[in-house]
Amino acid sequence: MARDFLKNVSDQYDVVVIGSGLAGMTSANILGRAGHRVLLLEQHYKLGGLATWFLRPGGHIFDISLHGFPHGMIKSCRRYWNDDIADRIVQLKNIRFDNPMFSLTTTFNRADFTHLLTTRFGLDPAAVTAFFDTARGMNFYDDQTTTTRDLFERFFPGREDVVRLLMEPITYANGSTLEDPAITYGIVFSNFMSKGVFIYQGGTDDLVSRMKQELEKNNVDIAIRCNVERIHVANDQVQAVEVNGRKIRCRAVISNANLRTTVFDLLGREALSQDFVEQAEAVRLNNSSTQVYMAMKPDVEIDESTGDLLFTSTAPVFRTDLLLSRNITSRTFSFYYPNTRPDKRRRYAVVSSTNANWSDWADLSESEYEASKQELIDSTIDALEKYVPDARAKIDWVEAATPRTFNRYTQHQLGASFGTKFEGLAVSRALPQQIGGMYHAGSVGIIMSGWLGAINYGVIVSNEVDQKLTTENAAIGS
């Protein structure tokens, strides 16, 4: 008999959270801690969404996306999770760039970047200061017509080398392009520039385990392998979710699924106004990515001077289309040293990440797909050998993930690694006005992608749900 993953789940909750990405888990934790009855549903067998991990023979553990986030994660984790998690966040101090325009190492904070830009790149200190201040002052409600390209031309006209230094890491981090609104770059850039790049020491396996413990402590019910098929609505109000053939009643739903999946698959056009449907149809999905996971043999060591994050490129100039091309010229190598997981076996691993287009992978036959994955692996190892000599002979395990991989395991449409483009934010925020009790906390508008963005969007939405439920409870009590 098939296992019933809903066996211990009640028939009714205050809130059902669909999807256990960082936004979904954070929403569930905050609402559970506030005393609401919460059910967290995850279609996969692991929690975490893209913030998760996998285990391979030889004791090798690979993180899907533990490659760096801003200092603000410490504050958010301390406030919305616990001190135990926040205290394990540590700084990565060795961020390297290597491309035809320049090769340098930085701690990736404002002071060090200011020094680099004014000395090595010869920029006017006043222009550098004004640029940083402008980026720091950006918010969601600023002018959306100014593009990131316009921003760079304003402060550093004609300086493609400066654009590359300032833009390449953010494109890697959240899919941002020069044609996107400047605020989608400025907000993320200024977050990183506050105090540098950080990582969770212990790996996502440890992080998700501690988050699960905190969720259970706050009486959140968790069910894995539970794929929500439908959100039921009546009289413009959420009524229930249908999952594994069962209806579970609720007063509110938070969807951590892709925005378009939430609107068109889980809710359906018939539940929404025509104007809203048209706005949602106009929302563009962001790009996807490829990754190559490489674990070193037990006796192999990599010198830490190699870097923590290494942004490499053979392209003569920075161009977004080159970053997405199947003819890969730019890779970001994330190096995992033994202190990444101090309580595990002494292991070294490298993950190569590249931005990618779904269309380049979607329609390949199985044989073409396998050949393309092997080509991706081989070319990546070739590129790595510049920094880790004889890397091919030192690797114990290697495999690749593509946009099809991310689509399969997360169900993100087109394998989108960064949710939707900026216009998705307005649609996401407007859902409760369309359907009472319906909220979305997925990756939208680039700004809300990445670890910190995901957690903080979960905070925003959970506070709104808490206010709704508390108001309703007070009305019932009176």
Binned at pLDDT 50, 70 and 90, residue 145 comes out as confident
Total number of domains constituting the chain: 3
Whether 151 and 233 share a structural domain: no
Tell which of 410, 429, 462 closes a domain.
410
pLDDT of residue 249: 98
Q: Is residue 309 part of a domain?
A: yes
Whether 154 and 171 share a structural domain: yes
CA distance 350 to 354: 13
CA distance 63 to 388: 20
Whether 370 and 441 share a structural domain: no
Q: Residue type at 369?
A: Y
CA distance 128 to 144: 22
H or E segment and range at residue 174: helix 160-174
Q: Is residue 72 part of a domain?
A: no
CA distance 195 to 192: 7
User: Quick check: helix, strand or coil at residue 417?
Assistant: coil
pLDDT for 5-32, tens place per residue? 999 999 999 999 999 999 999 999 999 9
CA distance 228 to 67: 30
The range of the structural domain enclosing residue 406 comes to 54-61+82-91+286-410
Whether 280 and 423 share a structural domain: yes
Whether 291 and 373 share a structural domain: yes
Whether 280 and 425 share a structural domain: yes
Q: Is residue 87 part of a domain?
A: yes
By residue count, the chain amounts to 478
pLDDT at 478 over 70: no
User: Quick check: helix, strand or coil at residue 112?
Assistant: helix
What residues pair up with 200 in beta bridges, in sequence order? 89
Q: What is the CATH number of the domain that holds 18?
A: 3.50.50.60
| Rg value, the chain, Cα | 22
The backbone torsions φ and ψ at residue 148, rounded to the nearest 5 degrees and listed phi first, read -65, -35
- Lookup result for tokens 């994330």: 334
| In the chain, % of residues over pLDDT 90 | 79
Dihedral of CA 466/468/472/475: which sign? positive
Side-chain-facing half-sphere of 281: CA atoms under 13 Å: 9
pLDDT for 288-328, tens place per residue? 999 999 999 999 999 999 999 999 999 898 887 777 778 88
Whether 297 and 279 share a structural domain: no
Looking at residues 222-232, what average pLDDT do you find? 97
Looking at residues 382-386, what average pLDDT do you find? 96
Tell which of 355, 386, 410 closes a domain.
410
Whether 438 and 395 share a structural domain: no
Q: Which of 10, 65, 62 lies closest to 41 in space, CA to CA?
A: 10
pLDDT of residue 1: 57
CA distance 320 to 326: 12
Task: Give the number of other CB atoms < 10 A from CB of residue 219.
Answer: 12
Q: Which of 453, 444, 403 lies closest to 260 in space, CA to CA?
A: 444
Whether 40 and 129 share a structural domain: no
In the 8-state DSSP scheme, what is residue 182?
Answer: H
Query: Which two structure tokens, joined as six digits, stand for 374?
Result: 């092997």
CA distance 286 to 294: 26
CA distance 255 to 41: 10
DSSP result, 274-339: HHHHHHHHTPPB--EEEEEEEEE-TT----GGG-SEEEEE--SS--HHHHH-SS--EEEEEEE-GG
Query: Which two structure tokens, joined as six digits, stand for 211?
Result: 């988050």
| In the chain, % of residues over pLDDT 70 | 98
pLDDT for 163-186, tens place per residue? 999 998 888 777 778 988 898 888
Whether 302 and 402 share a structural domain: yes
pLDDT of residue 173: 76
pTM metric for this prediction: 0.94
Q: Is residue 473 part of a domain?
A: yes
Q: Residue type at 143?
A: D
CA distance 204 to 49: 11
Binned at pLDDT 50, 70 and 90, residue 66 comes out as confident
Whether 296 and 444 share a structural domain: no
